[in-house]
Structure 1
Amino acid sequence: MKVILAGGGTGGHIYPAVAIARGILEKYEKADILFIGTEKGMESSIIPREGFPFRKIKVRGFMRKMTFENVIAVKENLLSLIECRRIIKSFKPDIVIGTGGYVCGTMLMTAALSGIPTLIHEQNAFPGITNRILSRFVDKIALTFPEASDYFHSKYKISVTGNPLRGEITTIGKDDGMAAFGFDEKKPLLLIIGGSRGAKKINESIMLIAADCEKNREFQLLHMTGESQYESVISLYKKKGIPYNTSYLKVMPYIHNAPYALAAADLIISRCGAGLISEITALGKPSILIPYPYATDNHQEYNARALEKYGAANVILESGLNEDLLFSQVKKLFSNPDKMKDMALNSKRLGKPNAASDIVEAIETLLN
């Protein structure tokens, strides 16, 4: 089997593509896989590090207002169609798969018009513009959230597969997660994920929670600040006299062994990117979700509301976020084990830990 995977720009588009590639290789050990991306996107460093062949094409997205940049974009995208045609002609793929980002546009369109089987995967509850356009041309549409189907016309193409996860997510136990960070297995753990680049409002709104953790020791706290905000957050802890590196409270700029942190957590406060949401639900974790207000098309709020609708998460918009509100929600949940259990069960019901293998099945259906 020869497969082209196109996707890029952010990790939310890249890591699902990697998970799909690994799912293919698990079943077809000799599969030949080629990734397509851009030089400026994160994929240019991530994909080679993951050990896959990678080819760059020059393509860019359009601005949402009339600018000269759009003239340049038209030129580059037309040229990229020619380059995509060359890649397809030389590689001769059996199928072309897109996981989002404007790099998918020309690659998937070229493949579709060339009569090659095509599949797109949409991670978010509110689909991106590229996938909405491509949906009319491709053969199969795989979705993370069933709510996304409202935005696609060709319902017969749709399969709700979930979002492909890194393999270790569902194999690590809670005890292993607690031991990895030196936490007490007898007390609940609150995991706060400020984002890889940080989330200023979230980081500033957890000080009452941290102070209560220090004073009463009823729960434990693992706080990832994001590397860019670590120093400023540590300054806040110092200013308020809260220890930030103890057996029960740990502040880190970035959690490199994230699967262990997620496995250990009893409650999670985080943003609402599709990848993290998929991991939370695959593990059946209750959460308090705070959408990034400037996400494209407000897709993070759509993701969060999809969990809230089924009682798996509480949602707080950043415009209404403050220390008192966040502290109140955490205390209410930790003091109500039955509510936490219900949220965990609802979260687990939404999880799709076999997404990668389901997408491989969809690929096989197309090819057969």
Structure 2
Amino acid sequence: MKVLIAGGGTAGHINPGLAIAKYIKSKSTDTKIIFVGTERGLETKLVPREGFELKLIKVRGFRRKLSKETFISVKEMFQGFHEARSIVKEFKPDIVIGTGGYVCGPVVFSAAMRKIPTLIHEQNAFPGVTNRILSRFSNITAISFKESEKFFKGAKKIVLTGNPIRKEMLEIDRAKARESLKVDSSNPLVVIFGGSLGAEKINQSVVDMLKTHYREGTFKLIYATGEKQYKNVMEKLEGLSYKSVQVLPYIFDMAGVMAAADLAVCRAGAITISELTALSVPSIMIPSPYVTANHQEHNAKALEKHGAALVILEKDLNGEVLHKKIIDTIKNKAKLKEMSKNASMIGVRDAADKIYSLAMGIKV
């Protein structure tokens, strides 16, 4: 069997594709899988590292305002369609799966025009423009939030599957993870992170919280600043030392730390939400206001509606607000337990299996 997976730009589009690819390989080791991306996306780093072949095409998004960039985008769009058609024609895939990003457009459309089975996967509660368009041509549109269904009015078939997540997230043992991090029940573990690059407003608020409001022993904190902002944060925290606070540039063992956490404070990326709910971790979401169509706020509000998370908009965030929200949450054991239960109820642990079954069952 041959499978072509298109997804690119951010890790939020690429990691679901990798999770699907690994699951397919676990079911059929002789399956040939090729990824399609662009040279500007994170796929150039993430895909080869996982041992999959990556082919690149030219494509970029359109800016609404007419400019020189618009004409470049149009030129690259036609070039991208030509390159995508060539890849599809040469590889002859049995199925094409799109996991988001502009690169999906020409690849999935080219496959659909050749009557090749296609499936697209939408990670967010508010879907991107590319997937909304492709849903009219794709055989199946797999969604991760029920709330996104209303945006796919022209879709041929919509199935709620959830987001496929990393295998290690599903295999981690909470008790062992807490023991490894020396976390006991009397000192709740709070984990704060803003993504691999960090989030400036979150970092400013955490620094203020640690310098002004935090008291030793109220909770154990593991805090990731992001690689680029670590030095700056440590300079601001110079002279401040807490035994129960660990400041890191990046959390490499995110599976272990998430599993051990009593509460996570983070952005509202779709994959982060899927991992937290799969592990039943309550959260305080601070959605990024800088993403396309403000989709993180839609994600966070969807989780809040189910009682699994609390939301602080970045415009309302500061050290005092953050500290109060954390303290009020971890001190209310009943609320924390209820949030964990609600997260578990909406968490999906078999999304990759669902998507695999759907893909294998497509009839054209």
- 1:259 Cα offset (Å): 0.5
* Larger CA deviation: 209-218 vs 29-38: 209-218
Deviation digits for residues 223-274 of structure 1, max 9, x if unmatched? 0010111112112222xx4315x3x210000011111110110000000011
Residue aligned with 1:293, SS: coil
Structure 2 residue 294 is matched with structure 1 residue 301: no
Give the whole-Å Cα distance in 2 for the aligned partners of 1:174 and 1:187.
16
In structure 2, the partner of 1:128 is: 128
- What is the one-letter code of the residue matched to 2:241? P
In structure 1, the partner of 2:178 is: 178
Q: Contact 2:199–2:225 at 8 Å: present in 1 too?
A: yes
Q: Contact 2:213–2:319 at 8 Å: present in 1 too?
A: no
Map 1:110-129 onto structure 2 (within 5 A): 110-129=110-129
Give the whole-Å Cα distance in 2 for the aligned partners of 1:214 and 1:183.
18
TM-score (ref. length: structure 2): 0.96
TM-score (ref. length: structure 1): 0.95
* Larger CA deviation: 265-274 vs 194-203: 194-203
Q: Contact 1:213–1:220 at 8 Å: present in 2 too?
A: no
In structure 1, the partner of 2:357 is: 361
Residue aligned with 1:233, SS: helix
Q: Contact 2:265–2:285 at 8 Å: present in 1 too?
A: yes
Residue aligned with 1:206, SS: helix
Residue aligned with 2:362, SS: helix
Residue aligned with 2:328, SS: helix
- Sort the Cα spacing of 1:214 and 1:331 in 2 relative to 1 into closer, same or farther, 3 A: closer
In structure 2, the partner of 1:242 is: 240
In structure 2, the partner of 1:19 is: 19
- What is the one-letter code of the residue matched to 2:160? V
Give the whole-Å Cα distance in 2 for the aligned partners of 1:77 and 1:181.
49
In structure 1, the partner of 2:230 is: 230
Residue aligned with 2:197, SS: coil
In structure 1, the partner of 2:84 is: 84
Q: Contact 1:210–1:221 at 8 Å: present in 2 too?
A: no
Q: Contact 1:213–1:249 at 8 Å: present in 2 too?
A: no
Unaligned runs of 5+ in 1: none
Unaligned runs of 5+ in 2: none
- What is the one-letter code of the residue matched to 1:312? A
Map 1:10-159 onto structure 2 (within 5 A): 10-154=10-154, 157-159=157-159
* Larger CA deviation: 338-347 vs 67-76: 67-76
- What is the one-letter code of the residue matched to 1:318? E
Deviation digits for residues 316-349 of structure 1, max 9, x if unmatched? 1011111111111111111110000000011111
Give the whole-Å Cα distance in 1 for the aligned partners of 2:207 and 2:41.
35
- 1:213 Cα offset (Å): 8.9
- Sort the Cα spacing of 1:103 and 1:45 in 2 relative to 1 into closer, same or farther, 3 A: same
Give the whole-Å Cα distance in 1 for the aligned partners of 2:292 and 2:215.
40
Q: Contact 2:137–2:155 at 8 Å: present in 1 too?
A: no
Give the whole-Å Cα distance in 2 for the aligned partners of 1:173 and 1:314.
25
Residue aligned with 1:55, SS: strand
Residue aligned with 1:338, SS: helix
Map 1:243-282 onto structure 2 (within 5 A): 243=241, 246=243, 248-282=244-278
- What is the one-letter code of the residue matched to 2:245? L
Identity over aligned residues, as a percent? 48
- 1:173 Cα offset (Å): 1.6
- Sort the Cα spacing of 1:209 and 1:337 in 2 relative to 1 into closer, same or farther, 3 A: farther
Q: Contact 2:136–2:155 at 8 Å: present in 1 too?
A: no
- What is the one-letter code of the residue matched to 2:215? K
Map 1:342-361 onto structure 2 (within 5 A): 342-361=338-357
Residue aligned with 2:361, SS: helix
- 1:174 Cα offset (Å): 2.0
- 1:92 Cα offset (Å): 0.8
